[in-house]
């Protein structure tokens, strides 16, 4: 196992950075690293060429030497020049959160489409890096000629661009097929209920306990990459879908490269928003807001969508009052979104099987409303 040092640059007034750091640590572990330390720099603005300041880099170098670090994991998203300089200065491999997320994806991807999507995300990050290296090389070869755009070209980049184009076409084909399948299911009379939420909220646990499935469950991010489908127990019509989980500060480029999985969220009739009720209150609030904004961004919160909130892991709360208080907090946040009464919050424990009957009752109730609507032709 490789030793990793985590480094983060945060603004003086940055909120929730402790949780973010904690989450980044989970990502690092999920990618298979042994985290040997963390270094944080508090700074108003990052250094253009190195992100961290000179003194901080010296400190990082010292830890790398002392603890036998193989790779530096940087919380922030690095520009190509920053990544290159940090690698040169520290002598170890440098990954930012984008690279790290992709590493986990690579390890967990089982199907061809996920693999293609990952390759695309990889190449789009690799191109500016290669262009930078090429430009610098030219500058060294011909010190009196200024490096201009003309040096940005390299046969490798051209090849990657061709590959990108090919992958895009391929993904587009898969995507059209996927959308066709979704509509075919709808025409057959299925109601689609898509489980969404943060990683570790208990989405897959809920999916397993409502179906006859036994999909892998884990407390690490991105265990579930491609969507899984299964019928609700004792139901002919309700199809449950388990989807990829969200993490905080998710790079929009990564969301975009996982476009195919997002179609499930867009076209489902019901969204089951799974929330970990055992999180500290402020973290629960920011996560709930963030996911609502993501859902709006990707076009999943259309006006016809029914929302069922699974306030999960209530077995970890102290008493009914605490459950009620969490429920009120979530309700308060959701009231700010223009959902006019299209949501219900049900406290449950997916793992312990608490309150699942009422959850299923609500789910079927929502499903029946969708059927009525469709028959009436709305």
Ligand X SMILES: Nc1nc2c(ncn2[C@@H]2O[C@H](COP(=O)(O)OP(=O)(O)O)[C@@H](O)[C@H]2O)c(=O)[nH]1
Q: Name which position in 230, 351, 355, 369 contacts ligand X (CB under 6 A).
A: 351
Q: Applying CB under 6 A, does 312 fall inside the site for ligand X?
A: yes
Q: Which is nearer to ligand X, 125 or 313 (CB)?
A: 313
- Token readout for 141 is 């070869």
User: What span, in angstroms and rounded, lies between the C-alpha atoms of 95 and 97?
Assistant: 7
Q: Name which position in 50, 182, 238, 245 contacts ligand X (CB under 6 A).
A: 245
Residue 68: phi, psi to the nearest 5? 60, 50
Region binding ligand X by CB under 6 A among candidate stretches 7-15, 151-159, 255-263, 350-358: 350-358
Q: Which is nearer to ligand X, 41 or 221 (CB)?
A: 221
- Token readout for 332 is 């308060």
Region binding ligand X by CB under 6 A among candidate stretches 117-125, 332-340, 344-352, 362-370: 344-352
Region binding ligand X by CB under 6 A among candidate stretches 48-56, 139-147, 343-351, 356-364: 343-351
Residue 347 binding result from Mg ion, ligand X, none, given CB thresholds of 5 to 8 Å by partner type: none
Q: Applying CB under 6 A, does 218 fall inside the site for ligand X?
A: yes
Instruction: Tell me whether strands 306-312 and 93-96 are parallel, antiparallel or unpaired.
Output: unpaired
* Least distance (Å) between residue 236 CB and ligand X: 25
User: What span, in angstroms and rounded, lies between the C-alpha atoms of 98 and 22?
Assistant: 16
Q: Which is nearer to ligand X, 191 or 310 (CB)?
A: 310
**Would you call 80 helix, strand, or coil by DSSP?**
helix
Q: Applying CB under 6 A, does 224 fall inside the site for ligand X?
A: yes
Residue 333 binding result from Mg ion, ligand X, none, given CB thresholds of 5 to 8 Å by partner type: none
* Least distance (Å) between residue 223 CB and ligand X: 6
User: What span, in angstroms and rounded, lies between the C-alpha atoms of 128 and 175?
Assistant: 27
Instruction: Tell me whether strands 238-242 and 228-231 are parallel, antiparallel or unpaired.
Output: antiparallel
Tokens 């030219």: give the residue: 138
Region binding ligand X by CB under 6 A among candidate stretches 62-70, 128-136, 262-270, 309-317: 309-317
Q: Applying CB under 6 A, does 200 fall inside the site for ligand X?
A: yes
Q: Which is nearer to ligand X, 114 or 200 (CB)?
A: 200
Q: Which is nearer to ligand X, 86 or 273 (CB)?
A: 273
What is 267-311 written as a DSSP string?
Answer: H-SEEEEEEETTS-HHHHHHHHHHHHHHHHHTT---TT-EEEEEE
* Least distance (Å) between residue 225 CB and Mg ion: 9
Closest CA to 311 of 296, 325, 301: 325
**157 - beta bridge partners?**
none
**3 - beta bridge partners?**
34
**Angle ∠(36,42,45) on CA atoms, nearest 5:** 125
- Give me the residues that bind Mg ion (CB under 5 A), please: 203-204, 223-224
By CB atoms closer than 10 A (0-12, 13-18, 19+), residue 322 is: middle
Q: Which is nearer to Mg ion, 125 or 203 (CB)?
A: 203
* Least distance (Å) between residue 10 CB and ligand X: 26
Q: Applying CB under 6 A, does 313 fall inside the site for ligand X?
A: yes
Contact of 343 with 270, CB cutoff 8 Å: no
Region binding ligand X by CB under 6 A among candidate stretches 125-133, 141-149, 288-296, 347-355: 347-355
The DSSP H or E segment spanning 218 is none
Per CB under 6 A, residues contacting ligand X are: 197, 199-205, 217-219, 223-224, 245, 312-313, 315-316, 349-352
């Amino acid at each position: 196992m490789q030793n990793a040092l985590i480094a983060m640059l945060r603004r003086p007034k940055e909120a929730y950075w402790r949780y973010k750091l904690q989450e980044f640590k989970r990502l690092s572990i999920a990618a298979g690293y042994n985290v040997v330390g963390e270094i944080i720099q508090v700074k108003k603005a990052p250094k253009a060429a190195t992100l961290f300041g000179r003194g901080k880099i010296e400190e990082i170098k010292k830890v790398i030497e002392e603890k036998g670090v193989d790779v530096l994991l940087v919380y922030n998203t690095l520009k190509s020049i920053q990544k290159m300089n940090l690698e040169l200065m520290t002598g170890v491999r440098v990954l930012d959160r984008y690279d790290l997320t992709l590493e986990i994806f690579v390890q967990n991807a089982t199907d061809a489409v996920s693999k293609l999507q990952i390759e695309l995300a990889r190449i789009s990050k690799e191109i500016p890096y290669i262009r930078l290296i090429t430009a610098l090389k030219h500058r060294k070869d011909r010190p009196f000629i200024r490096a201009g755009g003309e040096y940005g070209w390299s046969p490798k980049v051209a090849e990657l661009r061709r590959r990108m184009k090919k992958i895009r076409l391929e993904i587009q084909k898969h995507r059209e097929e996927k959308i066709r399948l979704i509509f075919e299911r709808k025409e057959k009379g299925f109601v689609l209920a898509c489980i969404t939420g943060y990683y570790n909220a208990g989405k897959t646990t809920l999916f397993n306990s409502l179906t006859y499935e036994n999909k892998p469950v884990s407390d690490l991010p991105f265990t579930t990459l491609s969507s899984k489908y299964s019928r609700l127990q004792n139901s002919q019509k309700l199809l449950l879908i388990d989807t990829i989980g969200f993490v905080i500060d998710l790079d929009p480029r990564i969301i975009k490269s996982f476009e195919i999985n997002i179609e499930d969220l867009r076209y489902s009739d019901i969204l089951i928003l799974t929330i970990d009720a055992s999180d500290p209150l402020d973290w629960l609030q920011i996560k709930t807001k963030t996911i609502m904004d993501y859902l709006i961004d990707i076009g999943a919160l259309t006006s016809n969508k029914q929302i069922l909130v699974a306030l999960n892991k209530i077995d970890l709360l102290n008493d009914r009052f605490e459950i009620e208080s969490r429920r009120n907090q979530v309700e308060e946040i959701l009231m700010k979104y223009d959902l006019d009464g299209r949501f219900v919050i049900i406290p449950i424990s997916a793992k312990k099987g608490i309150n699942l009957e009422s959850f299923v009752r609500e789910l079927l109730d929502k499903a029946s409303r969708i059927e009525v609507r469709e028959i009436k032709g709305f």
